[in-house]
Structure 1
Amino acid sequence: MSITSWNCRGIGHKRAIPILWDLTRSYKPDILFLSETMVNSNRIKDLCHILNFNHWYVVDRSGRGGGLALLWKDTFDITITQANPNYINVNVKDRNNIHWRLTGFYGYPERRKRKDSWDLLRHLASLSNLPWCIIGDFNDLLSSNDKKGTNPHPYYLIQGFRQATMDCGLEDLPLIGHPFTWIKGNLPNNLVEERLDRALATKDWHHLFANFLLSNGVAGKSDHSPITLKLQANLSNPLHKYFRFENIWLEDPDIERAVKYGWGYHNKEGVENKINSCKKYLRIWSRRKHVNLCKSIDILKLEMEKCRNAQGTTEWGLYFQLQHQLSH
């Protein structure tokens, strides 16, 4: 079972569906928490069906910004308990009948409101005695090591956030992979990286899920990277591979001929047989003429990881080129 959290910085654009589809393909979350969706519930409802989630809960955007969404599969029995523009709080019961609490959190980005975020954490801690995990974009740092580049983060903000987590009995879950989840700038002299996205949990939650793994990922859009918390190995059966028409085929001048040939233009068989024949031929045609798109995407992500870890002038320039290519 796994939980993915991502500050997507808006999913109303036309590329949102393929980006989110690839996100769920790569990290296979049973629960997906999105912050800064910048859309209303109707858009999330459509995405939920496309991404094969069974349930969803939405906090609509306020004005032109904000917005939260929680999508989940039947792997969990989830009950929404509280929600507002900064969090979605739920009680969880998994297949092993283990009860715990999950909060998807989005902290105030304005420095003058950081204290409000800390007080909000304390309020959430007081709501239940269940084992608790909270994940999301906190817009806060727990250590000076959570930032790289330009001016150091103010110590009073680090101390305030750290004290709030201690008051709540929360421990920071270690992040595997690149140590930062947010990036600003594209050159070494103006590049800033911070670990704004994280997961925290109480000790009793640690006892329930001792073998967790929190990893840092990459995505084709947003200045935030997605983080995924795996609680145990995924034991679900592999999904049946349905035929899907790839939009990139429309850019191939040979597609019309391929469809006509596969359809059997002069064949008088029934429509169902023609459709099946066309699907089979397009699969063969695609393998012959096009590289495997999923493999190409995975290779791009690996190259982005290498560039992000190298952190040289050339590497960062290449990183943003690869991110643009991945988004395309």
Structure 2
Amino acid sequence: MMGLVWNCRGLNNTLSPTIPKLRALIGSKCFDFMFLIETKRNASSIFPMFRSYGFMKHFGVDAVGASGGLWVGWKREARMSLVMACKNFIILLVEKYNGLLWYLVLFYGAPCSHLRTPVLLELEKWMDNCKHPFLIVEDFNQVDMECDKVSKSQGPIRGASFFNMWKIRNELIDIPFKGPRFTWCNNRKGDERVYERIDKALGSRDWLSFFPDSGIKHYPIQISDHAPIEVNLQLVKNDGKRPYKLDAWTLDNEECLERVRSAWGQRDVGSPSFQVARKLTRVRSTVKKWAIDKRDEWMGKWDDFDKRLEEGMNKAIAGEGDEMYTRVNDEVKDFAKAVSIFWRQRAKVKWMVD
């Protein structure tokens, strides 16, 4: 099972660069669920954006004005069901094919330290009565170790003592990560820039015994002030070849449709049924090649941005200046806006609700 979680800081703008980046991430992996924080819009309006990617089950907490908002979407085969929700977390019950039941807690910690404590205590009450293993994922808004923060200011980390005692008291274990260390940046320049690791995953001891190879991947911080996070459980490794699935967006692309017409229009010799079979085979291979080439064209640019962003972050953290990171992050936003405009102009069916 794989999931994508991101404090995206807003889906309320039709030309937001966040949306093309999300669609690129979803298109690159076969995610079973996606959790978005600070959507800044009504939950019901988010589903149409990602329906074509298979997230047919969904739940959300509406934003209040232009702040807050949570949304989670999952595929039917993920076998998830809603247990409870509030403005700070959503809890899903997950049923695996082998009969294992466990909880996925999608968490959003209060930005202010004095408001985080009541939320953590509320979650602790639930954990005390929890009968199954559980995993808590995403934005805790809390640094718990000095090595997880880079800032010119020195001194004790506010809230760290309580947060660490809360983890110990509830026997929570940090899930290992790979990728850039830091998941949040205040996006200021020079000595005012701050990096922190506040997006993470914590598992109960019994959950780790079922998912010993689980891990999370930090993408570089971009567009939002948070990094997208990939959650990978890796319960069972499947080396079998998975059938290729055509994304819905290809069917709205005139270039793809023209390839289909051309492939179908070629002359074949034989019985009617044989001719139809040959045409279907040719169309399938033509569309598959076109879709893969097109995806590689778009994804290649996103991958290049990620590599350069990570390089820029490392230079900034090492004190070599933040010019590269700032420049590449601006390029990402410009490219994402161009992608957004492209699809709005080319798509026959509008894929976003204004």
Looking at structure 2, the residues matched to 182 and 155 of structure 1 have their Cα atoms a distance apart, in angstroms, of 15
Contact in 2 for aligned 1:56/1:69 (Cα 8 Å): yes
**Aligned-residue offset at 1:68:** 0.9
**Aligned-residue offset at 1:169:** 1.6
Looking at structure 1, the residues matched to 230 and 29 of structure 2 have their Cα atoms a distance apart, in angstroms, of 7
Measured against aligned partners, the alpha-carbon deviations of 1:287-309 in whole angstroms (never above 9, x if no partner) come to 79x98222222222222222222
Q: Residue 3 and residue 169 in structure 1: after superposition, are their counterparts in 2 closer, same or farther (change >3 A)?
A: same
Q: Is 1:299 matched with 2:301?
A: no
Looking at structure 2, the residues matched to 25 and 218 of structure 1 have their Cα atoms a distance apart, in angstroms, of 18
Contact in 2 for aligned 1:149/1:193 (Cα 8 Å): yes
The 3-state SS of whatever aligns with 1:66 is coil
Aligned to 2:181: 179
Q: Is 1:309 matched with 2:311?
A: no
Which structure exhibits the higher relative contact order, with contacts defined as CA atoms closer than 8 Å and separated by 6 or more residues? 2
Aligned to 1:113: 115
Q: Aligned match of 2:62 in 46, 60, 63?
A: 60
Q: Aligned match of 1:97 in 90, 96, 99?
A: 99
**Aligned-residue offset at 1:26:** 3.0
Q: Residue 208 and residue 64 in structure 1: after superposition, are their counterparts in 2 closer, same or farther (change >3 A)?
A: same
Alignment of 1:1-328 (within 5 A): 1-14=1-14, 15=16, 16-152=18-154, 154-218=156-220, 221-232=223-234, 233=237, 237-241=242-246, 243-244=250-251, 292-311=297-316, 312-313=320-321, 314-328=323-337
Looking at structure 2, the residues matched to 227 and 292 of structure 1 have their Cα atoms a distance apart, in angstroms, of 23
Contact in 2 for aligned 1:90/1:103 (Cα 8 Å): yes
Q: Residue 261 and residue 158 in structure 1: after superposition, are their counterparts in 2 closer, same or farther (change >3 A)?
A: closer
- TM-score with structure 1 setting the length: 0.82
Letter matched to residue 242 of structure 2: N
Q: Residue 217 and residue 62 in structure 1: after superposition, are their counterparts in 2 closer, same or farther (change >3 A)?
A: same
Looking at structure 2, the residues matched to 127 and 90 of structure 1 have their Cα atoms a distance apart, in angstroms, of 15
Letter matched to residue 321 of structure 1: D
Contact in 1 for aligned 2:9/2:37 (Cα 8 Å): yes
Q: Residue 102 and residue 176 in structure 1: after superposition, are their counterparts in 2 closer, same or farther (change >3 A)?
A: same
Q: Residue 97 and residue 310 in structure 1: after superposition, are their counterparts in 2 closer, same or farther (change >3 A)?
A: farther
Q: Count residues in correspondence.
A: 307
**Aligned-residue offset at 1:324:** 2.3
Looking at structure 2, the residues matched to 263 and 74 of structure 1 have their Cα atoms a distance apart, in angstroms, of 33
Stretches of structure 1 that go unaligned for 5 or more consecutive residues are 250-254, 268-272
Measured against aligned partners, the alpha-carbon deviations of 1:148-179 in whole angstroms (never above 9, x if no partner) come to 11324644511011111112221111221111
Looking at structure 2, the residues matched to 241 and 296 of structure 1 have their Cα atoms a distance apart, in angstroms, of 21
Contact in 2 for aligned 1:75/1:95 (Cα 8 Å): no
Measured against aligned partners, the alpha-carbon deviations of 1:169-196 in whole angstroms (never above 9, x if no partner) come to 2111122111110011343311101111
Contact in 2 for aligned 1:183/1:194 (Cα 8 Å): yes
Contact in 1 for aligned 2:180/2:220 (Cα 8 Å): no
Q: Residue 263 and residue 48 in structure 1: after superposition, are their counterparts in 2 closer, same or farther (change >3 A)?
A: closer
- TM-score with structure 2 setting the length: 0.76
Letter matched to residue 136 of structure 1: E
RMSD: 3.3
Q: Residue 325 and residue 236 in structure 1: after superposition, are their counterparts in 2 closer, same or farther (change >3 A)?
A: farther
Aligned to 1:270: none
Stretches of structure 2 that go unaligned for 5 or more consecutive residues are 266-278, 338-354
